[in-house]
Amino acid sequence: MVSGGALGQPENDRGAWNSRLGFILAAVGSAVGLGNIWRFPFTTAEGGGAVFLVIYLVILVIVGLPVMLGELALGRRGKLNPVGTFRRLANGHPFWVGVGVLFVLTSLFIISWYSVIGGWVLRYIWGSANGSYFADPAGYFNEIQDGPIALGLHAFVIGITALVLAIGVSKGIERVAFIMMPILFVLVVGIAIWVATLDGAGEGYSFYLSPDFSEFDTDILRSATGQAFFSLSLGQGAILTYASYLDDRESLSDNGTIISLADTGVAVLAGFMIFPALAVAGLLTTEAGPGALFIGLATAFAELGTVGRILGSLFFTALFFAAFTSAISLLEPSISFVRDQFKVPRVKAAILMGIIAYIGGIFAALSRTYFGIAAGDGTDIVVILGGLLISLFAGWFLMDAPEEMNRGGRLRLGHYAMWMCRIPIPVVLFTLLVLALVDYVNAIRAGEVFLGL
């Protein structure tokens, strides 16, 4: 029997969180990623500002939080990696063991291209400091997207990620979360305060959050639903694995709610630094996507001259912290799998999975076609599928999930979450899955991607 460890006690064989705050910061670090910075604020501005925010929070409670609680409950119940957890909880049923394997592969798949973006962000920190992208932001992005340097930076990001994970749960992941998450928060708040003092920032706030009820339609609902689900790092095995190190006395309802709200809070705060900066540079736009981040904002920093150099360096540093803490959570499920299943020392497991993740990323760092498919529809499909399977398992097979979720806390969301995971959420996620598959098939038909790549 494998024990999950306890608060304040030395790490057991698998490792355990040293404190509740450490777990929350690590889980928030996992959930807060690039999407919080580049997608949420722009989607909010485009979707009616404050109106979208209210709709988003409602959908977060309806879709995001129940799946989050389901994944937390599975992880802590199983107290193993995704494969071991499903094997234990499903009594070795091959289908669910296969689902566990899917989670390990999904997290490895995502980290393999995610670290390439981590490398881009590192280049942008440097590029902001010396102004090297100021003359031609679009050309700069084109230049750094792929190639030997992108490959080298991918290796660097994977390397430092594996290093943190090799150190362990409390001394590695938790310590990094303790350092990076407060710095990320301070940077985001600090930049937001600074840009507020610049001339012309006011226009950015009204652009961002002015309520606009005319924008309310079914597209907004779809957009908010996708954002609420994707933003929390669900369906990737990361939250499940983090929960496997969580003490039995911790309330999943309380912690899941805090993680969801903190994730949303950082995303909302990101808008307070982005839109005033864009307004000051006269470049307000709602065009979401990585282009907004790597070209739109980069152009804004270029317009601001010396201020832009400092602002850009700080901004991309914050972005790197967000990406790095997410990368850590993405590599951990596979390391945990190798450790649990094959009784391999953590250091060796980290080296092995780091190398495998690096190999996967060679394609992403050198081929734009592969990167586009992997980082786009490919990830959408596997993550939604993962969320759907988590939801079904938690709703239909984990019969004591409500007790697991409610134990030891003030909030008692267990029965609500389990009921939502049974039918409503699977219907929503199945619909999202079909839409993602349709997008993928349309891309194949349009000749944008090749079958099988």
Partner 1 sequence: MQTVDILIGVFAVIALGGSVVGVVLYEPSAASEFGVFYSTETHELGSEDTSVSGGGPNGGTSSAEVTHDIGISNLTELVFEVQVTSQSALPARSAALSITVTVTDPNGTETREDGSISGTGTSTTIEVRVPNLNEVPVDGAIQAESLEAAATQANETNVGTNGIGEWTVTVEVTYPAGLAAESGTVTSTPRATHYHSEVRAEVPDISPAA
Under the binding rule (CB under 8 A), the answer on residue 39 touching partner 1 is: yes
- Using CB under 8 A as the binding criterion, the count of chain residues that bind partner 1 stands at 56
Question: Dihedral (C-alpha) 264, 267, 268, 271: value to the nearest 10 degrees?
Answer: -170
Q: What residues from 333 to 352 belong to the interface with partner 1 (CB under 8 A)? A: 338, 342, 344, 348-349, 351-352
The residue count for the chain: 453
Least CB distance from residue 403 to partner 1, whole Å? 30
Under the binding rule (CB under 8 A), the answer on residue 64 touching partner 1 is: no
Under the binding rule (CB under 8 A), the answer on residue 92 touching partner 1 is: no
Question: Dihedral (C-alpha) 252, 255, 258, 263: value to the nearest 10 degrees?
Answer: -90
Contact 243, 67 (CB under 8 A): no
Sorted by sequence, the CB contacts under 8 Å of residue 266 that are 6+ apart come out as: 28, 32, 36, 184, 185, 188, 322
Among 250, 254, 380, 404, binds partner 1 (CB under 8 A): 380
Residue 330 CA to its chain's centroid (Å): 9
Query: From CA 331, how far away is CA 334, in angstroms rounded?
Result: 6
Least CB distance from residue 250 to partner 1, whole Å? 26
Query: From CA 187, how far away is CA 181, in angstroms rounded?
Result: 10
Under the binding rule (CB under 8 A), the answer on residue 151 touching partner 1 is: yes
Least CB distance from residue 285 to partner 1, whole Å? 11
Under the binding rule (CB under 8 A), the answer on residue 142 touching partner 1 is: yes
Query: From CA 47, how far away is CA 220, in angstroms rounded?
Result: 6
293-324 burial string, b = 16+ CB within 10 Å, else e? bbbbbbbbbbbbeebbbebbbbbbbbbbbbbb
Residue type, 402: P
Residue type, 136: D
Which residue, 170 or 326, is less far from partner 1 as judged by CB? 326
Which residue, 228 or 246, is less far from partner 1 as judged by CB? 228
Under the binding rule (CB under 8 A), the answer on residue 450 touching partner 1 is: no
Least CB distance from residue 208 to partner 1, whole Å? 18
Under the binding rule (CB under 8 A), the answer on residue 356 touching partner 1 is: yes
C-beta neighbour count of 59 within 10 angstroms: 20
Among 10, 148, 447, 452, binds partner 1 (CB under 8 A): 148
Among 30, 231, 260, 336, binds partner 1 (CB under 8 A): 231
- By the criterion CB under 8 A, which residues form the site for partner 1? 33-35, 39, 110, 114, 117, 136, 138-139, 141-142, 145-148, 151, 155, 226-227, 230-231, 233, 235-236, 289-291, 294-295, 326, 338, 342, 344, 348-349, 351-352, 355-356, 358-359, 362-363, 365-366, 368, 371-372, 375-380, 383
